[in-house]
Amino acid sequence: MSEMCRRDPRREWIARNRLHPEHASALAALGNIGGGGAASEWLGPSGVLRRNPHGVGFIGPNGVKRIDRSGAQQGGSAPGHGRQAVQQDRRRHVEISDPAFLVAVVPDLTGGRLSGHDKDLLGLARRLADDDPERPGAVLAVVFGEHKEERLGEAGIDRVLHLGAETYAGFAPEARLAALTAVERELAPRHWLLPDSPLGGADLGRRLAQRLGERPVTGVWQIEADVEAPLGWRCTARGAAERLDIRRPLPRVALALAECAEPVDETRHAAEPLSLGAAVPIALSRIEDLGQVAVDPAGVALAEAEFILSAGNGVKDWEGFHHAARVLGATEGASRVAVDDGFMARDRQVGASGTWVTARVYLAVGISGAIQHLQGIQGCDRVVAINLDPGCDMIKRADLAVIGDAAEILAALVAKVEQQRGGQRDAA
Amino acid sequence: MRPEQQGIEMAVLVSVGRHPITGRARRADQDARGLELALCLEGRLPGSRIGLLHAGPRSEESEAALRGYLGMAADAGTGLNTLTLLEQPEGSDAIPALADHLSAAMPQLVITGTRAELGEGSGLLPYALAERLGWPLVNGLAAVEKVENGVATLLQALPRGQRRRLQVRLPAIICVDAAAPAARQSAFGPARRGELEATPGAAELDHELAGWQVAPARKRPKRLKIIRAASARDRFKAAAAKAEGGSGQVLEGVSSEQGAEAIFTLLHEEGVLRS
Ligand SMILES: Cc1cc2nc3c(=O)[nH]c(=O)nc-3n(C[C@H](O)[C@H](O)[C@H](O)COP(=O)(O)OP(=O)(O)OC[C@H]3O[C@@H](n4cnc5c(N)ncnc54)[C@H](O)[C@@H]3O)c2cc1C
C-alpha cells in the first residue's frame, strides 16, 4: 500500500503558488512525502521518459527557485530549507561591552510600550552612539514605572535602567527629575535625548535641562555631523510655532520630534539591566497626583478615543451594545453598515469614509473587516474581534479573536466587569 | 466671608503673537487662554487681583497686540486696566527681567502659555522661571477647580481627551495650552483706554541665540516606507500584503464566558478598564 502515491491537488497547487500564505508549509509537506526531493525524471508505464519540471533545481537562499544547468547541482532540491532561511531573523547582534560614552534616552512608554516616537528617538540615539565605529557609545534607556515592552533590545537599547518604584507612577515630575539627576551624577551621559511630546518628554526634558543648567534644543528634527561643534553635531530644530528652522550646534540635552531618525531595524542590542549605585534621594513633592478623572467617553472625539467599542452588522441587540459601552467605559464606534442602517450616528463611523481612529484598544463586534474599515483602524495598537465567522478579514487583523455570538459574549463580558467591580467595592 | 475664601494674587505672562496666515502681530492664542483662565478664577474668588506682565521692546506693533489683552477684561467688571511692560532692547533675554519682577511682586499663581509664537518658541521660559524661583510647575492645564488654604486643585489635560486631577502647593506656575477654554473676544474701546506701565527691565542680550542660523521652516521630508527585502519576491509580498499579522490568538469553540474572560484579561492588561 505504501507504494501508492496519493496526491493532494490542492496542496500541490498551493506549493506552485509562491504567494499563497500557506506556500511554505505545503512545500515542506510535499517534500517530506517525496523523502527529501521528488524525482525529476522517471520512465513512464509505456516506456516514455517523464519529467517533473518542478523537481528540477533548488530553492535559493531568498526562497526563489534556482535551476543550475551547469550540471554541478543535480536534482536534490531541498524544499522547505530555503523557506526557513527567509523566516530566520536577520538582525545582527551587537554587544557593546566597554562603551566610550553613554547616550541617555528617556522614552515615554505610553501605555507601557515604546511608541513610534520613542523608536525614532532611539534611532537618533544610535546615530549619535555609533558615529565612530572605533569607539562606540552605548544607548542607555531610563525607564520609569512598569512596562510591557519585551523588545527593548530590538529598538537599539544597550543598557536599561529600570526605576519601577511607586513614586514614579502618574504625574511625578519631581521624583523623576531627582532620579535623572542621580543618573547624571553617577553615569554622566554625553547626550540626553527625550521625545518632545506634550506631557511626556517635553515636560521632563525641559525640567532636566534647567536642573543641569544646560540650554536644551527643542523640536529637533534633523542632525548632521559637524566637527566644529562642541559635541561634534549640528541640529535643525523648529521654532516660533513651527514657522522657523533654527540651525545650531547640538547641546547636551535635546528634545526631538517624531520622525527625527529612522528606527533601528538591522541590529539587536543587549538591553542589559543596570542599576544605580547610590539610592535616589527622595524629592520633596509639592505636586500631588489625585489620579485620572472619569470623563464621559461618549463626549470624547472618536479620533482621539483610547478605547473604542465598535459595532457592525453583526450586532442585533443594540440596547445591550450601548449598555456594554457604558459599563466598559468605551467610546462607541460603528461600521458603515451600522451607520447606514440608522443604528448609529454618522460621526461614529470608523473607516475610510469615516474617522481614522488611533485607539489603543479597538474592540470590533460583528464587523467583517472590509478594507475600507480596516484602513480606518491602521493606527490602533490592539484589536479584539468578536465574530461568528472565523474566516473573515477582521480576525486576521485582530490580536485576539473570539468566535461566537456577539450578544452573548458582550453580556458575559459586562457581567464579568460588573462582578469584578462589585468585588472590589466589597473589599474596600 | 471665611478667610480662606479670600482672593489670590495672580500674574499672567503675556507675549506678542503672530497670526498664522496674515503674519500680523496679535495677542498670542495660548497667553489669551491663560488670561481667560485668570479672569474666570477672579470671578469665582472675589478679591483676587490679576497682574498682566510682558517683557520686551516697545513698538507700535507690539503695543497694539498687548492692548488686545487689556480689551479682554472690559466686561469682567474688574479693575484690570494696566499692563506692566518691562522694557528691554530687542534681542534681550526675558527670563532675568521676569524673574526679578516676580520675586519682588510674589504672586501666588503665575499663568503662562506653553510656547511663544515668535522667536525661539522653545517653551523653556516657564521652566526657567520655576527653577529660578523654586516654585512647582504644572503644564497642559485644562482648568483650575479650586484654590483653598494655599493649595490649588487643577485639572491637567491628557492626550485622548482624558483629564488628571492634581494638587499643587502655591505659589506655583501653571502653563496652559490649547486644551484650556478658548479666550473671549477683545473689546476695542477698553483696549485703547488701557494703560501700559513701562519700567526698564534687565537688559541681558541673548548672545547664543544671535549666533544661530534662523530660516523660514522647510517642509520636512515625508518618510518613505522602506522595505528591506533581499529579493523581488519579498518586495512584492510586502507591497501586496493586505492584512498583516496573523499572529493573533483565535479562540474558537469556547463558551461565551471563556471568550469574555480572555477579552477581559486583555482589557485589564492594557489598563483601559477603570474601576
Ligand atoms: C467607497 C466606500 C467607502 C466605504 N467606507 C467605509 C467606511 O469608512 N467604514 C466602514 O465601516 N465601511 C465602509 N465601507 C463599507 C465596507 O465595504 C463594508 O461594507 C462594511 O464595512 C461592512 O460592515 P460590517 O462589517 O459591519 O458588515 P458585514 O460585512 O455584514 O459584516 C458583519 C459581520 O458580523 C458577523 N456576525 C453576524 N452576526 C453575528 C453575531 N450574532 N455575532 C457575532 N458576529 C456576527 C458576520 O460574521 C460578519 O463578519 C465603504 C464602502 C465603499 C464602497
Is the shortest distance between the CB of A388 and ligand 1 below 6 Å? yes
pLDDT score recorded for residue B77: 61
For residues A61-87, average pLDDT: 56
Give chain A's radius of gyration (CA, Å): 28
Distance CA A400, CA B254 (A): 13
* Ligand 1, atom nearest to A392 Cα: 49
Distance CA A271, CA A114 (A): 14
- Residue with more model confidence, A19 or A60: A19
Q: Is B3's pLDDT higher than 70?
A: no
For residues A196-221, average pLDDT: 90
DSSP A199: T
For residues A269-294, average pLDDT: 84
Q: Of the candidates B139, B237, B256, which has its C-beta nearest A408's C-beta?
A: B256
ipTM for the complex shown: 0.85
pLDDT score recorded for residue A72: 57
Please give the distance of CA A235 from its chain centroid, rounded to a whole number: 28
Average pLDDT in chain A: 84
Task: Encode pLDDT of A326-338 as tens digits.
Answer: 888 899 999 999 9
pLDDT score recorded for residue B5: 56
Band of pLDDT at residue B20, cut at 50, 70 and 90 = confident
For residues A167-178, average pLDDT: 88
Q: Is B19's pLDDT higher than 70?
A: yes
- Residue with more model confidence, A334 or B231: A334
pLDDT score recorded for residue B195: 85
Lowest pLDDT segment from A77-81, A99-103, A178-182, A285-289: A77-81
Q: Is B80's pLDDT higher than 90?
A: no
Best probe of the B interface among A110, A207, A409, A425, by most B CBs < 10 A, is: A409
Reported pTM: 0.73
What's the CA dihedral at B242, B247, B249, B252 to 10 degrees? Answer: 60
Please give the distance of CA B204 from its chain centroid, rounded to a whole number: 25
What element of type H or E holds B154? strand B151-157
Q: Roughly how many angstroms between the first and final C-alpha of chain B, as a whole number?
A: 39
Band of pLDDT at residue A118, cut at 50, 70 and 90 = very high
How crowded is residue A126: how many other Cβ atoms within 10 Å of its Cβ? 26
Distance CA A143, CA A395 (A): 34
Q: Is A324's pLDDT higher than 80?
A: yes
Q: Is A98's pLDDT higher than 80?
A: yes
Angle between helices B60-70 and B29-44 (to 10 degrees): 30
Distance CA A117, CA A105 (A): 12
Q: Which three cell numbers stand for residue B168?
A: 499643587
User: Could you tell me the CA-to-CA distances from B7 to B2, B107, B146 in Å, in that order?
Assistant: 11, 12, 11
Q: Is A206's pLDDT higher than 90?
A: yes
Q: Is B235's pLDDT higher than 80?
A: no
Instruction: Please list every residue in chain B whose beta carbon sits closer than 8 Å to the beta carbon of residue A399.
Output: 245, 247-249, 266
Q: Which three cell numbers stand for residue A202?
A: 517635553
Name the β-bridge partners of B50.
B10
Task: Encode pLDDT of B43-57 as tens digits.
Answer: 888 888 888 999 988
Q: How many CA atoms within 13 Å lie on the side-chain side of A221?
A: 19
Q: Is A421's pLDDT higher than 90?
A: no
Instruction: Please list every residue in chain A whose beta carbon sits closer than 8 Å to the beta carbon of residue B24.
Output: none
Is the shortest distance between the CB of A367 and ligand 1 below 6 Å? yes
Please give the distance of CA B146 from its chain centroid, rounded to a whole number: 19
Query: Does the domain spanning A99-274 belong to CATH 3.40.50.620?
Result: yes
For residues B224-250, average pLDDT: 69
Distance CA B259, CA A386 (A): 9
For residue A73, what are the contacts with CB-CB under 8 A and spacing of at least 6? A58
* Alpha-helical segments (H) within A134-249: 173-187, 201-212
Distance CA A169, CA A34 (A): 60
pLDDT score recorded for residue A35: 42
Band of pLDDT at residue B251, cut at 50, 70 and 90 = confident
DSSP result, B75-133: GGTS---EEEEEE--TTB-HHHHHHHHHHHH--SEEEEESS-SSTT--S-HHHHHHHHH
For residue A89, what are the contacts with CB-CB under 8 A and spacing of at least 6? A268
Q: Which three cell numbers stand for residue A64?
A: 526563489
CB contact under 8 A, A409 and B208: no
Q: Which B-chain residues 18-47 have CB contacts (< 8 A) with chain A?
A: 18, 20
Q: Is A105's pLDDT higher than 80?
A: yes
Residue ranges of chain A assigned to CATH 3.40.50.1220: 297-427
Q: Is B181's pLDDT higher than 50?
A: yes
3-class state of residue A159 by DSSP: strand
Spell A398-410 as b/e; 16+ CB within 10 A means b: bbbbbbbbbbbbb
Band of pLDDT at residue B172, cut at 50, 70 and 90 = very high
Best CA proximity match to A183, nearest among A217, A142, A147: A142
Side chain identity at B130, as an amino acid letter?
A
Distance CA A196, CA A217 (A): 10
Band of pLDDT at residue B93, cut at 50, 70 and 90 = confident
Name the β-bridge partners of B89.
none
Place of cell 456577539: A406
Is the shortest distance between the CB of A393 and ligand 1 below 6 Å? no
Instruction: Please list every residue in chain B whose beta carbon sits closer than 8 Å to the beta carbon of residue A63.
Output: 231, 233-234
Task: Encode pLDDT of A20-68 as tens digits.
Answer: 888 888 877 776 554 445 567 777 778 888 887 777 777 777 777 778 7
Distance CA A257, CA A217 (A): 11
Average pLDDT in chain B: 84
Contact B86, B199 (CB under 8 A): yes
Q: Is B1's pLDDT higher than 50?
A: no
Best CA proximity match to B169, nearest among B124, B122, B135, B123: B135
Distance CA B189, CA B216 (A): 36
Contact B243, A369 (CB under 8 A): yes
For residues B149-153, average pLDDT: 90
DSSP result, A276-298: -SSPPPPPP--EEEEEEEP--GG
Length of chain B: 275
Band of pLDDT at residue B113, cut at 50, 70 and 90 = very high
Q: Which three cell numbers stand for residue B157?
A: 489635560
User: Could you tell me the CA-to-CA distances from A225 to A127, A222, A231, A250 in Å, in that order?
Assistant: 10, 10, 9, 10
- Residue with more model confidence, B236 or A341: A341
Band of pLDDT at residue A363, cut at 50, 70 and 90 = very high
Residue ranges of chain B assigned to CATH 3.40.50.620: 3-210
Q: Which B-chain residues 203-242 have CB contacts (< 8 A) with chain A?
A: 208, 211-218, 220, 223, 226, 228, 230-231, 233-234, 236-237, 240, 242
Band of pLDDT at residue B78, cut at 50, 70 and 90 = low
Distance CA A239, CA B212 (A): 12
Lowest pLDDT segment from A14-23, B90-99, B182-191: A14-23
How crowded is residue B3: how many other Cβ atoms within 10 Å of its Cβ? 6
Contact A350, A308 (CB under 8 A): yes
- Residue with more model confidence, A336 or A421: A336
Q: Is B253's pLDDT higher than 90?
A: no
- Name the residue of A310, A313, A316, A413 to mutate for ligand 1: max ligand atoms within 8 A of Cβ: A313
For residues A260-279, average pLDDT: 87
pLDDT score recorded for residue A3: 55
Q: Which A-chain residues 331-360 have CB contacts (< 8 A) with chain B?
A: 360
Handedness of CA A343, A346, A347, A353 (dihedral sign): positive
- At B198, give phi and psi (nearest 5°): -95, 130
For residues B135-157, average pLDDT: 90
What element of type H or E holds A29? helix A23-33
Band of pLDDT at residue A212, cut at 50, 70 and 90 = very high
pLDDT score recorded for residue A140: 93
3-class state of residue A364 by DSSP: strand
Distance CA B158, CA B29 (A): 20
Residue ranges of chain A assigned to CATH 3.40.50.620: 99-274
CB contact under 8 A, A300 and B161: yes
Query: Does the domain spanning B3-210 belong to CATH 3.40.50.960?
Result: no
* Alpha-helical segments (H) within chain B: 29-44, 60-70, 94-105, 125-133, 188-193, 207-210, 232-240, 256-270
Annotation: CATH topology of A297-427: Rossmann fold (3.40.50)
What is the distance in angstroms between the Cα of B34 and the nearest Cα belonging to chain A?
A: 17
